[in-house]
A and B are shown apart, each in its own frame.
Chain A
């Protein structure tokens, strides 16, 4: 070590400086910061409120006069005594809304699709925020910043870790924001929810983001063009999203899709967040979720760090 340099050097020196550099690009740029807040609101509004799946099965959607009339007719034809045929729409409505609720509970484990979906949004945000960590490696390479950092005594693993960490912190912030917004929009908490569960949500977000951004960095670490990783990431992102339980339960999916959803770490993340926030918590399932996502994070980040040693210096 050169005696002219500082003495506070550890193997991790530079980690926070590089992480903060990434974060500054976000919180010091008002437009980008604002967009990152608006985006989840927009998505929640569109997916959660526009695709109000619950409304199909409940409320008034069955009670068009036409439907009621035909139903009455059909019941009479089958020999139901006149007196037992429900005559009023209100009666039918009661029957159907009960039916609807049980359909919803069976399918989504909650009667409120918005709550179900809002939690899916958290995984969605993790996926899209971490995606950019890979891109920023390519940018740094193109702009020469990467070469410059490589010529300093910063550990190669720290360079990659700073990307992972900044994406993770960003996603965690956004996850907190989504929960707050969702509560404002009427998220219904599960019966055994308490504030500690929020910490659990941050913990699982941390794990999944570390894992995902390591994967994205591993994809992009060798490329010099922004287009190639962009195409790859676009190709896998939405399928990864929809081949999970983020917006729809896996049990109605065809077998082959279920197989994919079963290995998709997003499924476990979303399930964990749901168990913590809106379901009647199944602790055993929650343990499985955490273990799975934890292993995913450990494996992916190990691969990312090994690749950074291998490929950053050629």
Chain B
């Protein structure tokens, strides 16, 4: 067990006295790990990250980064962290290099040192050839890499990444993942990231926390969470409009049955063996199985298990979260 780099206890943020964006969140991140905050838009990921990077004050609870209290020692925190925000914040009218040097000035890094580091970072993110071009000519992927370089200029011990691959195409996304892995591997950096891409969390993170409606529903390594589901997942539909939950429950190796939107989500060990038995049991009672699928658990199943809705459903209930997100934006800006 490594040393705790980030630690929160009951961290809470309430906007405008009624909108609870983050609700008593407690977790800790260890030295050298990639910790992911996974959840749909509006779940409270960005609000949490903004509190940790000291641009929002918590309403309640405590948090520390590298032992510095985020509320009382916020300037110490700012010195040792790097931030890669969700938006493209680089100044369009300046060149890539000018932007990095501007970031360096924010930390009071001497110009000579800053120039050396900028060179190094431009190399790392493969922007050396474009350093004297204005940022307005950069593509989305280049901008993202520039943000990454800016976030690393103060040699942070912890790097916060808010949706690092939002809006990037698949290729650029994979490239970004490689940079992130490199930071962990070569620099031993601790990374805290938020994402609403399940595959991203699965591919990168050592541990993830699933957050929904401002609350952490589960924390653990992705593998463990998937295994924690207890076997495979069978989803089936039947023709008849009756509840057969009880019936399926009785089949051997079935651990749990849930009915959702007309289909049954069955957790079972040895799914491929159990499925025929379920079909058999149903047929005996005169029910016809119309659809059946068998999946090994993914993070989506984990997500579904703990929040009761699929990640995609959560994403697609656009009106609900758009309204919430808007309210949150308004409130905290």
Chain B positions 37-96 with a Cβ under 8 Å from a chain A Cβ: 50, 53-57, 75-76, 78-81, 83, 85-89, 91, 93-94
A17 near B105: Cβ-Cβ < 8 Å:
yes
Is A98 interfacial (CB-CB < 8 Å)?
A: no
A-B contacts counted at CB < 8 A amount to 101
* Chain A residues closer than 8 Å to B54, beta-carbon distance: 150-151, 313
> Are B57 and A313 interface neighbours, CB within 8 A?
yes
Choose from A4, A5, A144 the contact partner of B108 (Cβ within 8 Å). A5
Q: Which of B83, B94, B333 lies at the interface centre, i.e. has the most chain A CB atoms within 10 A of its CB?
A: B333
Q: Are B57 and A153 in contact (CB under 8 A)?
A: no
In the complex, the answer to whether B93 meets A29 with C-beta atoms within 8 Å is: yes
B155 within 8 A of A: yes
Q: Is the CB of B88 within 8 A of A5?
A: no
CA distance A144 to B49 in the complex (A): 14
State the CA gap A171–B52 with chains docked (Å).
39
Contact among B78, B89, B110 for A147, CB-based, below 8 A: B89
B109 CB–A CB distance under 8 Å: yes
| Choice from A10, A14, A141 contacting B105 with Cβ under 8 Å | A14
Chain B residues contacting A10 (CB-CB under 8 Å) are 108
Q: Determine whether B1 belongs to the interface, using a CB cutoff of 8 Å to chain A.
A: no
With beta carbons under 8 angstroms apart, the residue of B76, B106, B154 that contacts A17 is B106
Check A153 against B56 for contact (C-beta < 8 Å).
Answer: no
CA distance A18 to B57 in the complex (A): 24
Determine whether B127 belongs to the interface, using a CB cutoff of 8 Å to chain A: no
Do A21 and B94 touch (CB < 8 A)?
yes
- The answer to whether B107 and A5 touch across the interface, beta carbons within 8 angstroms, is yes
Contacting B at CB under 8 A, from A247-280, are none
Q: Is the interface of A mostly helix, strand, loop or mixed?
A: loop
* Set of chain B residues within 8 Å of A4, measured between Cβ atoms: 154-155
A24: which B residues are within 8 A, CB to CB?
A: 93-94, 98
Residues of B98-131 at the interface with A, using a CB-CB cut-off of 8 Å, are: 98, 101-103, 105-110, 113-114
B75 partner, pick from A7, A8, A145, A153, beta carbons under 8 A: A153
Interface residue tally on B, bucketed by range: 35 or more
Question: Does any Cβ of A come within 8 Å of B329's Cβ?
Answer: yes
Q: Which residues of A contact B329 (CB under 8 A)?
A: 224
CA distance A14 to B78 in the complex (A): 14
Contact A314 B110 (CB under 8 A): no
Q: Assess the B330–A147 pair: CB atoms within 8 A.
A: no
B93 CB contacts on chain A under 8 angstroms: 24-25, 28-29
Asked whether any CB of chain B lies closer than 8 Å to the CB of A49, the reply is no
Contact with A along B134-161 (1 / 0, CB 8 A): 0000000000000000100011010000
Asked whether, in the complex, the Cβ of B108 is within 8 Å of the Cβ of A2, the reply is: no
A16 to B111, CA, bound (A): 13
Say if the beta carbon of B332 comes within 8 Å of chain A: yes
Please determine whether A154 and B106 come into contact, CB atoms closer than 8 angstroms. yes
Measured CB to CB, the nearest residue on chain B to A222 is B333
Within 8 A of B (CB), among A98-153: 141, 143-145, 147-153
- Pairwise interchain contact A314-B108, C-beta atoms closer than 8 A: no
A2 contacts across to B, CB distance below 8 A: 79-80, 154-155, 157
Q: Which residues of A come within 8 Å of B, CB atoms?
A: 1-2, 4-10, 13-14, 16-18, 21, 24-25, 28-29, 141, 143-145, 147-154, 224, 313-314
What are the nearest 8 A-B pairs in CB distance? A144-B87, A17-B105, A9-B108, A13-B108, A152-B106, A6-B109, A224-B333, A6-B110
